[in-house]
Amino acid sequence: MSGQGGQDAKFFTRGKIQEFRAELEAAESKDKKFTKRKTVLKKIVANITMGNDMSPLFTDVVQCLGTPLLEIKKMVYLFLVCYGRQKADQLHLVIPSFLQDCNDRNPLVRALAIRTMSYIPTPIVIESLTDQLRHCLKDRDPYVRKTAAICVAKLYTADPRKAEKGGFVEMLRDLLLDTNATVVANAVAALSEIGDRQDGVIFKLNLTVANKLLTALGESSEWGTIYILDSLLRYVPERHIDAEMMAERVIVQLNHANSAVVLTAIKVLLYLMNYMENRKLMEYICKKMGPPLVTLLSSGPEVQYVALRNILLIIQRRPSVLKNDVKVFFCKYNDPIYVKLAKLEIMYRLAREENAREVLAELQEYASEVDVDFVRKAVRSIGRLAIKVQPAADSCIQALLDLIETKVSYVVQEAVIVIKDVFRRYPGKYEGIIPTLCEHLDLLDEPESKAAVIWIIGQFANRIDNADELMDDLTYTFLEEPTEVQLALLTAAVKLFIYKASSDTTKALVHKVLKWATEEVDNPDLRDRGFMYWRMLAINPTVAGEIVLAEKPAITTDADRMDRGALDQLLLHTGTLGSIYHKNPETFIRNATGKALADSPALNPLSRQVLVPASRPNLPPPAVVVPGPGPSEPTSTGAVSGTLVQTDGESPQNGSEASVANGTNGTNEANGASAHLMSTSASQETPSNEGDDDDGMVSPPASADPYAGLDNAFGGYMADEPRPQNRNLLDMI
Amino acid sequence: MISAFFIFNQKGEVLISRLYRTDLKRSIADVFRIQVVSNSDVRSPIITLGSTSFFHVRINNLYIVAVTKCNANAALVFEFCYRFISIAKSYFGKVDEEAVKNNFVLIYELIDEIIDFGYPQNSETDTLKTYITTESIVSANIAAEESSKITTQATGSTNWRRGDVKYKKNEAFVDVVETVNLSMSAKGTVLRADVDGHILMRAYLSGTPECKFGLNDKLVIDKNERGGGDAVELDDCRFHQCVRLDEFDSTRTISFVPPDGEFELMRYRSTSNVKLPLRVIPTVNEIGTSAVSYAITVKTNFNNKLSATNVVVRIPTPLNTTNVDCKVPIGKAKYVPAENVVVWKIPRIQGGQEVTFQGHASLTSTTNRQVWARPPIDVDFQVLMFTSSGLIVRFLKVFEKSNYHSVKWVRYLTKASGSYQIRPYENRRST
């Protein structure tokens, strides 16, 4: 059978309805082996595939149902699935044939009939299906029963109330106890589908049923295993021991060859761990999860990608998983770009003092590749590494300086952006490299990098001999610059003036900039900030200096980690689209249902404390969001009223104390730096990133949006972050 | 779950189109064509527009596409695409535009069977072939009993095997195939080295044989608990669904009823004590801006009874190379301008042997500095009867109620393809 194929390619040519009709008529005579009919039907199916409307042939094609050839029957059924709903008025012609097949002796034919009927959800077909389906759900053949189970889900989609009134949901429930594992798995899949509908019945599992399903796991097909594992999230353990025993039975699935089984098993384990008490077992589970996750990286690149995006979430919630395995995430030269970008984020997260040297060497390697996004992210990661791992800072800075020497524009820009943060992280340590940065001013043509270097010049104007010259050059194009750069220029000009108040050039410069900002520019933020500076300088320049050049809070990378409650919730979607975009599905898929950890006596108290309830928001109608000029909205409560501080660097982990501190200090900073503060957040104390969250302190989410901190790992630089597109392009077609 | 399944050719023409749910129209295919097929810079295998997500896998000149409107299990969708490809391979040998067009009716039959309402169903090739065939079946002629056998198998606990298999001579072939991945720095430091092992089995055994399989492995769960002996440390292993996972978990025995014919019994990964079959020592010198000289030595690292075959060394050259003068002691070396590499092909290198490529690349002077990523040197090869991990098959026992005698064969192969890489430069970007 294998190795030899059909010869049907010739049928892929456009045909006319009339010709096909004539051919079908001709085939009614002298067609002993039905080869003629088969040929015409193949032509028709090929034309359907090509997108040609074959529906006018409905009555002609239906005639062929009398042919006793299974192949012909399947082609006619395919035709019916395609055009049945359009030709609802003529469907009565095929009902008798369907009914006959539903009672065929051959179980394959019975199943085929109900499967096909349920694909044509019109009243007349559904009417005749319901009776048949009731029988088929109790058919003695498991193949028919497993097909019937899915038919119930289809029926429910077409007509929920009819399915409920007909008692089909109860019949599905009964199938959960079927003797055949495949039937059980499909019943689970159908019930889950119904349970996920916003208008569906609630599908929950109790311990007895959950255990029964676990028994079926051993005999299920790989897909069935996935449906069953997935449904275990509908079981809420009431006692620690229940969660622990269930996990022990799920753990064996980690050795399954199918990566979807592995990821779904991991999802169940992560879920159950929220309800456990036995720390030893939890450690054991974490240890067991690592190797299978790494093995997923030898699957195809698509599965690798899914795995990597999930690993990024998992290691934030369970830092002990994979903590010694940073090497496996090193990029191969020929990895697809999406795999490389995902690996880079994981490398950064797993970087610690012990492996920083190796990680840095890799990042340097990547910084010389050709893909611009990848290179930029690599460069930025070097700077982030300097901020995260203090002992590695020296070598990271040297690496950045080497990169600047390449004079490749986007490399230099990225380097400048991160170096600005490095200055804030290690005040008084690396300012010696400022002259090198200033030599490359002409390479900077993007707002973010320009704003960064301007901030550096303003902040350290006292150490830069020709700061006034540089500023004079930079302000030359003030009126054409984007707001981000204008804001930076304004603050830098004020700082320069405060440092060198006696100089006439700086006086003239600040006057010029303030005048522009308040008189020539339409942007209200810029104007208001201009007025504010102007008045401060007019009333008391000394105090203004103290305010503008006040000591800034140090930068840390703690905010990179996502809020625990949000993580707990997102991990309920492990392996799914939501876990790839790091977004709850209800936020980007219409009619998707949110999930939340259910409370129970067994739930870990810390998990309960940060629990994010499920929401069922209806997605607003799709709208095109155009990021306009001007500052973005504050995202957290950190902004104390009355300040102009942009708090986009805030993360909910800071807790209220840190936020307020940042807010007030930020006011002193008078917006210069915070306007381009990026992801790094200010925080007074440095909580350890190591160790499981279950041990540590958890601060309650301070912000309305627990995901605010999520995108922070690589700052505002999100060009390569995978995300669903909020446009409805589908309407264009 | 999956709402629609499509196959596109390179031009974006639809070769197969099947909608499983009414939440999509066929015109969704046009969106994919515009967004992916005609887009030269696709940077993700998943694209989500509004609530609709497109998952695609490329094979030869085709796009295998699944479309969903829900928060689909992405791993499942891709695994399904891979499975479709392997079923198609098994049915018609290759998966390309021609094969799909030639078998489109059969493909429609298959995808009606292996997905129902977007939920993947039994997709074991062996079982599928019992009732979805290329031959015409007259429905009236299939005995109901015969069908019941099929349906029982398709839904049964060993749905990968028919019960009535008979062979005159009972044989089982085991192939241990290891792909060794290497990334080595210019200084010769191993940045990473790991082995992806596959144990492939061809079982031609009658009846319902019960197999037990043993390796010299020692599965490492806790890396701190290292032990001695000749046991090989496997970081992880994954099994075909026929292997009883609970038994493996409790007693570490690999026991199973194999599918009939060829299948992948097990996959494993090893990162400790990886033996590198070939050692590559590159010396690359840039002579001003006009030339580069190369001396690339390849050394075998196994005993002289074995040999590496089909060795292909790919040595990257700068983008402005005009010509490369190559000298090799064995094999053939040729500059391929289209790919900016010198390809050095060596049919066979004996164990203990050492060979060196000498090359001199002449460069044109260019004014526009194109970015050259200085890619690594890449080596492909095969070594028979050698495992990089040191894995050995200890035993394969077959028990069947008729107690027949069976013959077992084991073969080992270590290979590299596309990811055995040595970086020739210490610092890649020229300053």
Smallest CA–CA distance, residue B7 to chain A, in Å, is 10
Q: In what order do the strands lie in the sheet with B254-256?
A: B254-256, B210-215, B393-399
| Residues A605-648 pLDDT 10s | 988 988 888 765 555 544 433 333 333 333 333 333 333 333 33
Number of helices and strands in chain A (H, E): 33, 2
Grouping H, G, I as helix, E, B as strand and the rest as coil, residue B120 is strand
> What value of ipTM does the predicted structure carry?
0.87
Amino acid (one-letter) located at A359: V
Q: For residues A308 and B87, what is the distance between their CA atoms, to the nearest angstrom?
A: 27
Mean pLDDT score of chain B, rounded to an integer? 89
Evaluate whether B85 touches B92 at the Cβ level (below 8 Å): no
Question: Is residue B21 located within the same domain as residue B117?
Answer: yes
pLDDT at B359: 94
Smallest CA–CA distance, residue A511 to chain B, in Å, is 42
Q: Is the pLDDT of residue A314 over 90?
A: yes
A697 touches chain B (CB under 8 A): no
Owning domain of residue B369 = 278-385
Across the interface, whether the CB atoms of A724 and B53 are under 8 A apart is answered yes
Across the interface, whether the CB atoms of B154 and A143 are under 8 A apart is answered yes
Instruction: Pick the last residue of a domain from B346, B364, B385.
Output: B385
Mean pLDDT score of chain A, rounded to an integer? 84
Over residues A423-451, mean pLDDT: 90
| Residues A438-460 pLDDT 10s | 889 888 999 999 999 999 999 99
Which of 468-507 (A) contact B at CB < 8 A? Answer: none
Across the interface, whether the CB atoms of B137 and A2 are under 8 A apart is answered no
Q: For residues A1 and B176, what is the distance between their CA atoms, to the nearest angstrom?
A: 27
Question: Is residue B345 located within the same domain as residue B258?
Answer: no
Chain B residue nearest residue A401, CA to CA: B431
Question: Is residue B34 located within the same domain as residue B14?
Answer: yes
Question: Smallest Cβ distance to A302: which of B45, B73, B122?
Answer: B45
pLDDT at B137: 57
pLDDT at A280: 95
Question: Smallest Cβ distance to A221: which of B14, B159, B427?
Answer: B159
Which CA distances in Å does B100 have to A44, A52, A62, A376, A464?
Answer: 16, 19, 26, 41, 68
pLDDT at A158: 93
Percent of chain B with pLDDT over 90: 64
Q: For residues A506 and A467, what is the distance between their CA atoms, to the nearest angstrom?
A: 9
Question: Smallest Cβ distance to B183: which of A11, A330, A373?
Answer: A330
Write phi, then psi, for A690 (nearest 5 degrees): -80, 165
Smallest CA–CA distance, residue B244 to chain A, in Å, is 8
Evaluate whether B389 touches B363 at the Cβ level (below 8 Å): no
**A681: which residues sit within 8 A by CB, 6+ positions away?**
A555, A556, A558, A559, A649, A650, A651, A654, A658, A662, A712
| Among A55, A70, A139, residue whose Cα is nearest residue A109 | A70
Interface mutation vs chain A, best among B89, B178, B238, most A CBs within 10 Å: B238
Q: Is the pLDDT of residue A579 over 90?
A: yes
pLDDT at B139: 54
The answer to whether residue B363 sits within a structural domain is: yes
pLDDT at B40: 84
Instruction: Pick the last residue of a domain from B97, B123, B149.
Output: B123
Question: Is residue B381 located within the same domain as residue B395?
Answer: no
| Residues A508-519 pLDDT 10s | 999 999 999 999
Question: Is residue B260 located within the same domain as residue B397?
Answer: yes
Query: In chain B, which residues have their Cβ closer than 8 Å to the Cβ of A298?
Result: 196, 267, 269
B116 touches chain A (CB under 8 A): yes
pLDDT at B229: 56
| Position A677 confidence tier, pLDDT thresholds 50, 70, 90 | very low
Kindly report which listed range (A69-83, A552-566, B83-97, B312-326) carries the lowest average pLDDT score: A552-566
Over residues B55-68, mean pLDDT: 96
Over residues A223-243, mean pLDDT: 96
Write phi, then psi, for B312 (nearest 5 degrees): -130, 115
pLDDT at B255: 93
Chain B residue nearest residue A341, CA to CA: B43
| Position B170 confidence tier, pLDDT thresholds 50, 70, 90 | very high
Question: Is residue B181 located within the same domain as residue B58?
Answer: no
Q: For residues A453 and A492, what is the distance between their CA atoms, to the nearest angstrom?
A: 10
Domain CATH code at residue B198: 2.60.40.1170
Tracing tokens 């390449």 back to the chain, one arrives at A406
Query: Beta strand B321-327 with B332-336: parallel, antiparallel or unpaired?
Result: unpaired
Across the interface, whether the CB atoms of A230 and B73 are under 8 A apart is answered yes
pLDDT at B222: 45
| Position B366 confidence tier, pLDDT thresholds 50, 70, 90 | confident
Evaluate whether B181 touches B192 at the Cβ level (below 8 Å): yes
Question: Is residue B250 located within the same domain as residue B267?
Answer: yes
Domain ranges of chain A: 459-547, 556-607
Chain B residue nearest residue A197, CA to CA: B70
Q: How many Cα atoms within 13 Å fall on the side-chain side of residue B295?
A: 3
Q: Is the pLDDT of residue A599 over 80?
A: yes
Interface mutation vs chain A, best among B48, B111, B233, B340, most A CBs within 10 Å: B48
pLDDT greater at residue B212 or residue A67: B212
Q: Is the pLDDT of residue B313 over 50?
A: yes
| Position A262 confidence tier, pLDDT thresholds 50, 70, 90 | very high
The answer to whether residue B137 sits within a structural domain is: no
Smallest CA–CA distance, residue A115 to chain B, in Å, is 8
**Token pair of A70 as six digits:** 């299974």
Kindly report which listed range (B228-237, B272-281, B308-317) carries the lowest average pLDDT score: B228-237
**Token pair of A441 as six digits:** 């001013």
Grouping H, G, I as helix, E, B as strand and the rest as coil, residue B215 is strand
Question: Is residue B181 located within the same domain as residue B283?
Answer: no
Question: Is residue B315 located within the same domain as residue B190?
Answer: no
Across the interface, whether the CB atoms of A575 and B75 are under 8 A apart is answered yes
Chain A residue nearest residue B94, CA to CA: A3
Query: Beta strand B170-184 with B190-204: parallel, antiparallel or unpaired?
Result: antiparallel
Phi-psi region of B340 (alpha: psi -120 to 50; beta: other; left: phi over 0): left
Query: In chain A, which residues have their Cβ closer than 8 Å to the Cβ of B45?
Result: 301-302, 305, 338
The answer to whether residue B147 sits within a structural domain is: no
C-beta neighbour count of A441 within 10 angstroms: 16
Query: In chain B, which residues have their Cβ closer than 8 Å to the Cβ of A300?
Result: 57, 78, 82
**A319: which residues sit within 8 A by CB, 6+ positions away?**
A689, A690, A691, A692, A693
The answer to whether residue B129 sits within a structural domain is: no
B151 touches chain A (CB under 8 A): yes
Smallest CA–CA distance, residue B269 to chain A, in Å, is 7
- One-character DSSP codes across B234-286: ESEEEE-TTB-HHHHHHH--EEE-PPSEEEEEEEEEE-SS---SEEEEEEEEE
pTM, rounded to two decimals = 0.86
Q: Is the pLDDT of residue A556 over 80?
A: no
Chain A residue nearest residue B131, CA to CA: A108
Which of 376-405 (B) contact A at CB < 8 A? Answer: 376, 378
Query: In chain B, which residues have their Cβ closer than 8 Å to the Cβ of A182?
Result: 122, 154-156, 159
C-beta neighbour count of A18 within 10 angstroms: 10
Domain CATH code at residue B93: 3.30.450.60
pLDDT at B129: 86
Question: Is residue B295 located within the same domain as residue B265?
Answer: no
Q: Is the pLDDT of residue A658 over 90?
A: no
| Among B104, B82, B123, residue whose Cα is nearest residue B16 | B104
| Among A523, A551, A519, residue whose Cα is nearest residue A534 | A519
Query: In chain B, which residues have their Cβ closer than 8 Å to the Cβ of A221?
Result: 121-124, 159, 241
| Position B53 confidence tier, pLDDT thresholds 50, 70, 90 | very high
Query: Beta strand B406-416 with B170-184: parallel, antiparallel or unpaired?
Result: parallel
Number of domains in chain B: 3
pLDDT at B9: 95
Q: In what order do the strands lie in the sheet with B2-8?
A: B14-19, B2-8, B62-68, B52-59, B46-49
| Position A134 confidence tier, pLDDT thresholds 50, 70, 90 | very high
Question: Smallest Cβ distance to A291: which of B1, B116, B235?
Answer: B235
Query: Beta strand B190-204 with B261-270: parallel, antiparallel or unpaired?
Result: antiparallel
C-beta neighbour count of A215 within 10 angstroms: 12
Q: Is the pLDDT of residue A125 over 50?
A: yes
Evaluate whether A644 touches A668 at the Cβ level (below 8 Å): no
The answer to whether residue B431 sits within a structural domain is: no
| Residues A400-422 pLDDT 10s | 999 999 888 999 999 999 999 99
Which of 314-373 (B) contact A at CB < 8 A? Answer: 371-373
pLDDT at A11: 92
| Residues B389-404 pLDDT 10s | 999 998 999 999 888 9
Q: Is the pLDDT of residue A47 over 60?
A: yes
Question: Is residue B282 located within the same domain as residue B381?
Answer: yes
Tracing tokens 């990024």 back to the chain, one arrives at A312
Query: Beta strand B46-49 with B52-59: parallel, antiparallel or unpaired?
Result: antiparallel
Question: Is residue B17 located within the same domain as residue B117?
Answer: yes
| Position B126 confidence tier, pLDDT thresholds 50, 70, 90 | confident
| Residues A84-107 pLDDT 10s | 999 999 999 999 999 999 999 889
Q: Helices (DSSP H) in A251-371: which residue ranges?
A: 259-273, 279-295, 301-317, 337-350, 356-366
Chain A residue nearest residue B30, CA to CA: A733
Which of 386-415 (A) contact B at CB < 8 A? Answer: 402-403, 405-406, 408
Across the interface, whether the CB atoms of A227 and B119 are under 8 A apart is answered yes
Percent of chain A with pLDDT over 70: 83
